[in-house]
């Protein structure tokens, strides 16, 4: 299981979103899920072994439920595959 760093997601969103509210309701009351999820290429319901996967973090507006997916690699929440983590 990949290491997940929620603090990096929070820092990324604070910098990039700069306090912007929800696109649906305008309220700035967000919840960041404590794990990553993955988007996989669609192939008529079949899984493509070795196909591309995008790790995402779900960020949900606690007022209206609008959910935004943030790329976990760009946010720094998980290490890029093959990147050294500095741990044995």
Is 60 exceeded by the pLDDT of residue 88? no
Query: Looking at residue 42, what is its pLDDT?
Result: 83
Query: Looking at residue 48, what is its pLDDT?
Result: 81
Domain boundaries, the chain: 6-18+26-75
CB 46 within 8 A of CB 52: no
Spatial CB neighbours of 15, under 8 Å, sequence gap ≥ 6: none
Query: Looking at residue 46, what is its pLDDT?
Result: 82
Confidence bin at 80 (pLDDT 50/70/90): confident
């Amino acid at each position: 299981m990949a290491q997940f760093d929620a603090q990096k997601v929070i820092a990324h969103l604070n910098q990039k979103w700069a306090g912007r509210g929800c696109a649906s309701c305008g309220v700035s009351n967000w919840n960041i899920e404590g794990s990553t999820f993955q988007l996989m290429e669609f192939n008529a319901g079949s899984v493509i072994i070795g196909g591309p996967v995008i790790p995402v973090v779900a960020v949900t507006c606690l007022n209206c439920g609008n959910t935004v997916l943030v790329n976990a690699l760009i946010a720094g929440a998980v290490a890029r595959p093959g990147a050294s983590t500095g741990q044995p």
